[in-house]
Structure 1
């Protein structure tokens, strides 16, 4: 049975209030930041606007500010919730490795502690498409629509062997990199390079001070390594959920298209079409754009969110 939004499950979620004062260590947080403690991990959350709720969750390595342009378009019409998963942005690291059900539960608890009890449009980019689809299947009463922004597709995924050993190896690699100051030296330029390669515009609009603050700490590299090593496991877990639980909400698959005729681009477009077909969703293509659609085409993402429920017609 799908999980419900009641009972002792929310005892591990606490609203620490607006972050007007600095945390235990580090500079003051930006205006509008809010901290929630969920299962012992302090998460950075943004909640803006009014009206129907939508949740924006970024892909591997993304931070809350990657949604700035999309949020600005949605805030006049929606209550917009953004958050940094553990280790990313301004969120602390989590003790446990990520799991699919854990990520879906994180979204539910964030909404609950914010007092947003009604159904929400859940928006997942890249790997986070797994998370929001799982949320919709596990919590149909909390879901009004699902928007997958160039979502990851792994139709034949299987869980990889030795999960504990892989997690230990990822943590060890992050620790070694920390000792060599790799995140401090290469984190921000690495972020800039990835954004340039994953956008059609070829530039990173994020403020340099924020990029330094969020990508120099080793927790961001640690989070990325952990999510990467658990990626196929979560994809396989989603296939199990698809076989067990229906998807009760309308779905929009928003696919990036850089206009290339390469084999890789054709395969990507085909996979996005297959994803929309498998989920009974509406396919919308945004071109020209790279994988980081929220940076290249924020208006297309906002339009997908605002019209997502039309897919039910």
Structure 2
């Protein structure tokens, strides 16, 4: 089922498949709902799988406000409410969406059945940058200039394909060409990615503050899936994240950053593991 639901005044593209307890999949910066395609068949027999595009991503409408950790956590809760899925959900966050998934678990503990972080972003000492309004204006201004120059239509799909190839341990971009063109030729996706990237450190700093005042729900399983890809430093940072969160750590090898494409089995196993 593919639908559009309004949360915070923004139309969000959502795809719901399967049956059973809810599982929400949120992908990284600039990616789209179809990047979870290899994982869904493994989960749908056991879970109600919810995939959604954040504002300015995929087919969702542009963002009304700049992203924040709290706002993204409430976005997930709002989507579950709009879909009439009030029960506890396992939330899976990839890359930057790991910030959002963890924030959801901390701010909505009663609605969290599990937390899975998939090669999630890690910022141990992030500080909130100054002048957020100016940063938002700059991101939107740059997006406007690039869009007026025709950059999305000319380069969007090619940049998407190249990024995916570089973020995998092997293979190209399996996404259907018509969907890639439909999403990545638009200025909407360019602007959405620029806005999220501009506020990346602010979201990271907000999550660090949340960790000090909003504990993870007791007894809820947490898994950190890391794709070290030969980087001992990245493996060490991911292990430290797992230690801090009291999580199970798993190095997924071989795999690049897009673990859901390289090793969908590892993601599904983390979601479905006995609790």
Q: For residues 146-202 of structure 1, what are the alpha-carbon distances to aligned partners after superposition, in whole Å with 9 as ceiling and x for unaligned?
A: 000001000110001111111100000000001000011110000000000000123
Q: For residues 105-156 of structure 1, what are the alpha-carbon distances to aligned partners after superposition, in whole Å with 9 as ceiling and x for unaligned?
A: 1000000111101100000000000001000000000001100000100011
Instruction: Name the counterpart of 1:253.
Output: 224
Distance in 2 separating the partners of 1:37 and 1:97: 17
Instruction: Name the counterpart of 2:145.
Output: 176
Contact 1:252 1:283 in 2 (8 A): yes
Superposition CA RMSD, Å? 0.8
Asked if 1:283 corresponds to 2:254, the answer is no
Instruction: Give the C-alpha shift of residue 47 in structure 1.
Output: 1.0
Asked if 1:149 corresponds to 2:115, the answer is no
- Higher radius of gyration, 1 or 2: 1
Asked if 1:54 corresponds to 2:14, the answer is no
Distance in 2 separating the partners of 1:38 and 1:280: 32
Instruction: Give the C-alpha shift of residue 257 in structure 1.
Output: 3.1
Q: List alignment gaps of at least 5 residues for structure 1.
A: 1-31
Instruction: Give the C-alpha shift of residue 33 in structure 1.
Output: 1.6
Secondary structure of the 2:223 match is strand
Asked if 1:134 corresponds to 2:103, the answer is yes
Secondary structure of the 2:39 match is helix
Instruction: Name the counterpart of 1:83.
Output: 52
Distance in 2 separating the partners of 1:269 and 1:202: 23
Distance in 2 separating the partners of 1:94 and 1:278: 32
- 5 Å-filtered alignment, 1:254-269, equals 254-258=225-229, 260=230, 265-269=231-235
Distance in 2 separating the partners of 1:78 and 1:95: 31
Instruction: Give the C-alpha shift of residue 37 in structure 1.
Output: 1.2
Asked if 1:229 corresponds to 2:195, the answer is no
Contact 1:144 1:250 in 2 (8 A): yes
Asked if 1:43 corresponds to 2:12, the answer is yes
Distance in 1 separating the partners of 2:215 and 2:63: 30
Asked if 1:74 corresponds to 2:40, the answer is no
Contact 1:50 1:76 in 2 (8 A): yes
Q: Which has the higher contact order (CA 8 A, sep 6+)?
A: 2
- The TM-score normalised by the length of structure 2 is 0.98
Contact 1:195 1:202 in 2 (8 A): no
Secondary structure of the 2:232 match is helix
Secondary structure of the 1:44 match is strand
Contact 1:123 1:129 in 2 (8 A): yes
Secondary structure of the 1:92 match is coil
Distance in 1 separating the partners of 2:7 and 2:205: 25
Instruction: Name the counterpart of 2:131.
Output: 162
